[in-house]
């Protein structure tokens, strides 16, 4: 019997989920970055946390954070070097209810929709996520 997947704690789904070159010729070619990979970039590079602190925030092992961070940086570099679009979507994560602590107290788009009783990212292809409520 295989071990069940552990959900990674994420504080926010990004407001913009498509990034890339403005003069991209082929918009059909894109790279998918998982939401938890985006969260490691945000926590380590933007918030300035160490990998150990990031692991505590995401409620996973440091080795998991290291792998997510490495995958995210590879995808980011591929997008920049080759001019491909980068889409942030999918993954196995749970949205933390304390999102207002980040994003300068505004909360995130996911959190604002969730408090209004709507769940905008339940569509197909968006990965599995659960809400920590």
Which residues partner with 19 through β-bridges? 86
Residues 6+ apart with CB under 8 A from 3: none
The whole-model pTM stands at: 0.71
Question: What gap in Å lies between CA 21 and CA 16, rounded to an integer?
Answer: 14
* pLDDT (average), residues 109-117: 40
Question: What gap in Å lies between CA 41 and CA 104, rounded to an integer?
Answer: 18
- Say yes or no to pLDDT of 114 above 50: no
- Say yes or no to pLDDT of 24 above 50: yes
Show me where the domains of the chain are located.
Answer: 26-89, 95-133
**Which band of pLDDT confidence, cut at 50, 70 and 90, is reported for residue 98?**
low
Q: What is the DSSP string of 18-51?
A: EE--TT-S-TT-EEEEPHHHHHHHIIIIIS---H
pLDDT digits (tens, 9 = 90+) for 44-87: 999 999 999 999 999 999 999 999 999 999 999 999 998 889 99
Question: What gap in Å lies between CA 79 and CA 95, rounded to an integer?
Answer: 26
| CATH number listed for the domain at residues 26-89 | 1.10.10
Pairing status of strand 85-88 against strand 18-19: antiparallel
Question: What gap in Å lies between CA 12 and CA 111, rounded to an integer?
Answer: 7
């Amino acid at each position: 019997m295989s071990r069940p997947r552990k959900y990674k704690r994420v504080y926010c789904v990004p407001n913009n989920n498509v990034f890339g070159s403005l003069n991209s010729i082929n918009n059909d070619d894109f790279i998918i970055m998982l939401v938890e990979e985006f969260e490691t970039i945000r926590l380590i590079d933007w918030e300035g946390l160490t990998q150990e602190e990031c692991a505590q925030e995401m409620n996973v092992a440091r080795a998991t954070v290291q792998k997510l961070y490495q995958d995210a940086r590879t995808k980011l570099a591929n997008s920049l070097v080759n001019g491909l679009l980068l889409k942030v979507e999918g993954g196995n994560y749970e949205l933390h209810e304390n999102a207002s602590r980040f994003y300068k107290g505004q909360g995130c788009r996911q959190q604002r929709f969730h408090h209004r009783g709507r769940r905008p990212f339940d569509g197909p292809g968006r990965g599995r996520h659960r809400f920590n409520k």
